[in-house]
Structure formats: C-alpha cells, structure tokens
Amino acid sequence: MLNLDWLVRVVDVGLRSVTGTGRTGPMPTHEQSIGMSDSERDFVAGLMRVNHTGEICAQGLYEGQALVAHSATARRVLLEAADEERKHLGWCRTRIEELGSHTSVLDPVFYGSSVLLGALVGSLGDRISLGFVEATEDQVCEHLDRHLDRMPEKDRRSRQVLAAIRADEVRHGATARSRGGIEFSRPVRLLMTLASKVMTSTTRRL
C-alpha cells in the first residue's frame, strides 16, 4: 500500500543516486587500464555516463514499481533489484571519475520520470510489473553487449565492470520471470527500445 514512508524512501534513494552519496560495494575488478589516449578515455567516459544514467533509470523504475506493488513477494524482488542497481551506480560513477569525467546533468530528470513510469506500470498488477522488469533487463543486457563490443580492448577495467553489471541484470530478469512476470510482446519491447534511445542519445555528453 502506498504510504508516506515509501515516498520518503523514494526521495532519499533518488537524492543518493544522483549525488553519488552512500555508494555500496568495492569495484568488481582490480584491473588497471593503461596506454589509453585522451580520445579513447573521452569515448569510454561517454559510454560509462550512458550506463550510469541507465542505472539511474532502473533505480527509479524499480522504486516506483515497489511503491505500488500488490504483494510482499513482488515488492521484495523489486527492492532487491533496486539495491543492486545502487551498487552498479557506484561502480559506474567511480569509473567515470577515474576517467576524469562527469555524470549526466539530466540524471535527476530521468530518475523522477522513471519513478512515475514505474508506479504506472506497477499499478497494472504484479505480473505485468515483474514482466516489465524482465523486459527491461533484457534490453539492458543488449545495450551492455553493444558497449562491450565498442569498448577498447585495452580498457580491461571498464570491460570487467560492465561484465559484472550484466551478470547481475541477467539474474534480475530471471528472478522476475520466475516470480510470475508475464512475457511482453515484441511491439511493446520495440517501444521500450525507442524510449531507451532517447536516454542514450541525450546523456552521452550532457
């Protein structure tokens, strides 16, 4: 049931997410990337900025869905996924800072809009909400695969961070499906893809 405590949590999580406070967990790699040119570092920073904003969106979606979840099981699945997205946020932000760059100025906007979208999807029922998690994570994995293909081979540190994130996202999707999430149709998934392109095209440099 929607209540003030949950709303306070959503706002608190959002503030921590966009400011980078309260990071959890060490980086999933001890690799160091050497021999990268300035142009390669700028390119990788742009990719990692997009990934960071993607995690901001996932954080907002799952918090919004949990806000209106009908069952304790669905809420637990959503909040566990949201907790891990915060870990991913910390990894991405740390790597962006190592590259001497910045996160997107649009992150607060994407977080707020994602919370609203998550609450809308969640209000349609837990099966749809969990199916949305699976569809979202499938798209995230495809997105990460594209970034891994484009990432310079010499940047082993960034590559291992993205690989670790991908493994968690696969698990999130599988868990949501096993808890009763419905499979989304291809047209719906295509609409989700178009929406994600708005995020990637606007946050690469901003």
| Domains annotated on the chain, with CATH | 4-15+36-203 (1.20.1260.10)
Alpha-carbon distance of 129 to 92, in angstroms, equals 26
Write down the number of H helices and E strands in the chain. 7, 0
Which residue in this structure is represented by tokens 């990337």?
A: 33
Distance of alpha carbon 189 from the chain centroid: 17
Distance of alpha carbon 172 from the chain centroid: 11
> What pLDDT sits at residue 23?
63
Lowest mean pLDDT among 51-55, 152-156, 199-203: 199-203
* Three-class secondary structure of residue 12 per DSSP: helix
Mean pLDDT confidence for 60-71: 93
Closest C-alpha to 45, from 178, 126, 161: 161
Per-residue pLDDT at 3 exceeds 70: no
Which residue in this structure is represented by tokens 């594209």?
A: 146
> What pLDDT sits at residue 40?
94
Closest C-alpha to 189, from 141, 122, 147: 141
Alpha-carbon distance of 42 to 121, in angstroms, equals 36
Per-residue pLDDT at 157 exceeds 70: yes
